[in-house]
Amino acid sequence: MSSVLVSGASIAGPALAFWLRRHGFEVTVVEKSHTLRGGGYPIDIRGTALGVVDRMGLLPRLREAHVHTRRITFLDANGSQVASLRPESLMGGDGHDLEVRRGDLAEVLFDTVRDDVEFLFDNSIVAMDDHAGGVDVTFRSGLQRTYDHVVGADGLHSAVRALTFGPEEQFHRYLGYCFAGFTMPNHLGLEQEAVLWNEPGRAAALYAIGEQVHGFLSFTRAEAPFGAFNDPRAQRDLVASVFAGDGWEVPALVEAMRSADDLFFDTVSQIRMPRWSSGRVALVGDAAYAPSFLTGQGSSLALVGAYVLAGRMAGHGFEAYERELRPFVEANQNLVEEGNAELFPGTPEALAARNAALRARETVPAGAGRPEHSAFTLSEFS
């Protein structure tokens, strides 16, 4: 069997491992964390990605994990209600989309492959030598192995991409926002709902899922804080300085962010690359074509990309993967060009216009919001 090393055990990595095993590959997955990352903010599984998880036999478990958000309530700077809507009125869809916690999806994917795939937790790739006979890989632990192929499924700040194609900055398209996510106590007694507070250029949210509440702080910034990506203290200091002096529940969110042991800080950005492969190395998911947090399509693109990549590795190779998937990826990445920052307006004028639109939309039937821009079906990738 051909051997494949996959870097990353979040969404794209285990999904790719599943399909590679179906095609007869021997698969190892390396993950820098000590274990799977549980919990996390909700993500959507939409359109073509639903067909992928259906073919994987995972729909029943994912339906059980569906969040069933009842409403999203928008507040002004004083904490007064602007509008309260059902999620379908904002995000569109046909009523069949799934919304699950990121950690729940990762756990379901891991369970499908844990007995057939080797996992190397608390480890990472530090060097690679791609040659005619394979890819020689050196791990952080000192382990050295050779694989027929290596795939980076290691996210927006992919180490495999950096080792193969160079520094991230040349592919990183920053969209002007930073965000911090974390869990915190449910001191407001929220149930299956989200509450979103806005000031121009700043947003704070509480998202209740079961017994957990996810705090979320987002803000505009002229330049991406690349120096803070690997510095949790700098991340906390930056967020706290931006929201200093704000009202409503913002001080409680900042305090919870300061002490959270699951803080996730990043930028709202895209990865745009002319190629997703080089030699025996390829990228999938956010490592290759992160669409940005604003589109809500990151996990769906990861699932579809893993399905297509595995099938083409078993047949026509990386070039077919890139040729066939790129139109689908670009259609979803271009969603961000269509005003998808409406949840986080950057100016007083944009915020006022957004609030007026929300008040009007309270009377619009669910399902009449933004459509999905996915023009392809699984039959085209079979």
Among 280, 283, 327, 290, smallest CA distance to 306 is for: 283
Give the number of other CB atoms < 10 A from CB of residue 109. Answer: 27
pLDDT in tens, 327-341: 999 998 887 754 445
Q: Of 108-122, 272-286, 343-357, which range is least confident?
A: 343-357
Question: Which string of b and e fits 44-58 if b means at least 16 CB within 10 Å?
Answer: bbbbbbbbbbeebeb
pLDDT in tens, 274-329: 999 999 999 999 999 998 876 668 899 999 999 999 999 998 889 999 999 999 99
C-alpha to C-alpha distance for 338 and 47, rounded to whole angstroms: 19
Question: Residue 71 pLDDT > 80, yes or no?
Answer: yes
pLDDT at 372: 40
C-alpha to C-alpha distance for 71 and 89, rounded to whole angstroms: 10
pLDDT at 369: 40
Among 235, 127, 217, smallest CA distance to 179 is for: 217
The chain-wide mean pLDDT, for the chain, equals 88
**Could you tell me the two tokens for 16?**
């790719």
How far is C-alpha 361 from the chain's CA centre?
Answer: 27
Q: Are 6 and 29 in contact (CB under 8 A)?
A: yes
Q: Are 332 and 291 in contact (CB under 8 A)?
A: yes
C-alpha to C-alpha distance for 242 and 61, rounded to whole angstroms: 40
Mean pLDDT of 332-357: 79
pLDDT at 216: 93
Question: What are the residue ranges of helices labelled H in the chain?
Answer: 12-22, 48-55, 59-64, 87-91, 102-113, 159-165, 232-243, 250-259, 286-289, 298-313, 318-333, 348-361
Give the whole-number percent of the chain exceeding pLDDT 70.
90
The pTM assigned to this predicted structure is 0.87
pLDDT in tens, 252-269: 999 999 999 889 899 889
Mean pLDDT of 90-100: 69
Handedness of CA 155, 160, 164, 169 (dihedral sign): positive
9 Cβ contact list (under 8 Å, min separation 6): 29, 30, 31, 33, 36, 106, 110, 119, 121
Q: Of 211-220, 232-241, 356-365, which range is least confident?
A: 356-365
How does DSSP assign 80-136, residue by residue? -EEEEE-HHHHH---S--EEEEHHHHHHHHHHHHTTTSEEEES--EEEEEEETTEEE
Question: Residue 87 pLDDT > 80, yes or no?
Answer: no
Question: Residue 190 pLDDT > 60, yes or no?
Answer: yes
Mean pLDDT of 368-376: 41
